Amino acid sequence: MSKRLKIALFVIIGVLFADQFIKIYIKTHFALGEEHVFFSWFKIHFTENPGMAFGLEFGGFLGKLALSVFRIGAAAFGIYYLRQIIIKKYHVGYIAAIAFIFAGAVGNILDSMFYGIFFNESYGEPSHFFPVEGGYAGFLHGKVVDMFYFPLVEGHFPSWFPIWGGEEFMFFRPIFNLADASISTGVIIILLFQKRFFIENKIAESPNEEPVSQAEIK
């Protein structure tokens, strides 16, 4: 097993295990809407959404089904793409970043695929795993579990501020999960180090071209 494959598997398995462990714990120990405050800027707030990352929603029953099918297709492409960049020996940092994105996507796909079957609703009390009365939804219609809430800055826009003058302001408002954070981590890594990743990849794929100096890479 190559070093690049080991890194990809380590990231994917680690993220998926941690993400699902946290979600199942929250689902079975928190009622929907329950909140635990650790600091003013760090809260655990249990919420669910039927749509996209960071609490965004998408188009009702058919929209949810379409989104779930799209996610599965994207995950299948992710497996293919990861395999290709490992075979072509892309930069290990780039492979790790793609693995973070892939793992995050799969983490939320698992919620959509199975949580409606495995759990009952969380209204008023924590959910039960494999409830006698059955789950709250069918295959591909589960809701994504979110819990991390970081209201770092709260206040109001100045009265002179265009459009939102005088309205409440909060950063960071969305409630998210570890899978969302994993996707964001992968994207940020690529944005920060794309020059190094892609220049070194070009060198690896074109060994007969004139070499690029380390100064140029930096």
Identify the pLDDT of residue 217.
40
Q: What is the pLDDT of residues 94-104, one digit of tens each?
A: 999 999 999 99
More confident residue, 158 or 61: 158
Mean residue pLDDT of the chain comes to: 86
Selecting among 104, 180, 181, 183, the annotated active-site residue is: 180
Mean pLDDT (whole number) for 63-88: 88
Selecting among 19, 48, 111, 146, the annotated active-site residue is: 146
Instruction: Give the other-Cβ count within 10 Å of 35's Cβ.
Output: 13
Identify the pLDDT of residue 38.
92
Indicate the range of 125-139, 153-167, 173-187 predicted with least confidence. Answer: 153-167
The Cα–Cα gap between 48 and 39 comes to 22
Long-range Cβ contact pairs of 23-27 (< 8 A, separation 24 or more): 23/111, 23/115, 23/145, 23/147, 23/177, 23/178, 24/129, 26/145, 26/147, 27/115, 27/119, 27/122, 27/126, 27/127, 27/145
Catalytic status, residue 146: yes
Q: What is the pLDDT of residues 5-42, one digit of tens each?
A: 999 999 999 999 999 999 999 999 999 999 999 988 89
More confident residue, 59 or 33: 33
Q: What is the pLDDT of residues 188-200, one digit of tens each?
A: 999 999 988 887 6
Mean pLDDT (whole number) for 125-149: 93
Identify the pLDDT of residue 214.
45
Catalytic status, residue 19: no
Indicate the range of 35-39, 76-80, 164-168 predicted with least confidence. Answer: 164-168
For residue 215, pLDDT over 70 is answered with no
Mean pLDDT (whole number) for 150-179: 84
Query: Given pLDDT bands bounded at 50, 70 and 90, which one contains residue 207?
Result: low
Q: Are 115 and 143 in contact, with CB atoms under 8 Å apart?
A: yes
Query: Given pLDDT bands bounded at 50, 70 and 90, which one contains residue 218?
Result: very low
Identify the pLDDT of residue 200.
64
